Amino acid sequence: MAQTQLLAALQALYHHDDPKVKDEADRWLEQWQQSVEAWSVADAVLHDPTTSMEAQYFCAQTLRTKVQRDFEELPPEAVDSLRESLLQLLIRFSKGAPPVRTQLCLGLAALAVHVP
């Protein structure tokens, strides 16, 4: 459900003709990025090969931002799985979109600062 809402909001932000709808989607996305569920949903979207480049970039940016600003939300037992997931995603996107890869690299670097 959360993934469906996220993808619908991204679709509205990038492709809807009505500026009011775009503004509403933008506000929703900003709030969503600050939620705890953003960790798992962004990761799931990035592991889904059917998602659009826009969704991939947004979710990579979300994970990077979460690691940089909201690391304390992450349970200590989830750190290793996040590191492993980011490494898997970097391998997957090694020949993919450079903007997505850049965000993933920045997220991994930020994680290394928190957990050497």
Q: What is the pLDDT of residues 50-94, one digit of tens each?
A: 999 999 999 999 999 999 999 999 999 999 999 999 999 999 999
pLDDT band at 116 (very low <50, low <70, confident <90, very high): confident
Q: What percent of the chain has pLDDT over 70?
A: 100
pTM across the whole model: 0.93
How many other CB atoms sit within 10 Å of the CB of residue 67? 24
How many other CB atoms sit within 10 Å of the CB of residue 54? 15
- Averaged pLDDT for residues 92-105: 94
pLDDT band at 1 (very low <50, low <70, confident <90, very high): confident
Distance CA 81, CA 76 (A): 10
pLDDT band at 36 (very low <50, low <70, confident <90, very high): very high
What long-range pairs does 37-44 form, CB within 8 A, spacing at least 24? 37/2, 38/62, 38/66, 39/63, 39/66, 39/73, 39/74, 39/78, 39/82, 41/2, 41/3, 41/6, 42/66, 43/82, 43/85, 44/3
Distance CA 83, CA 27 (A): 29
pLDDT band at 115 (very low <50, low <70, confident <90, very high): confident
pLDDT at 21: 95
Distance CA 2, CA 48 (A): 14
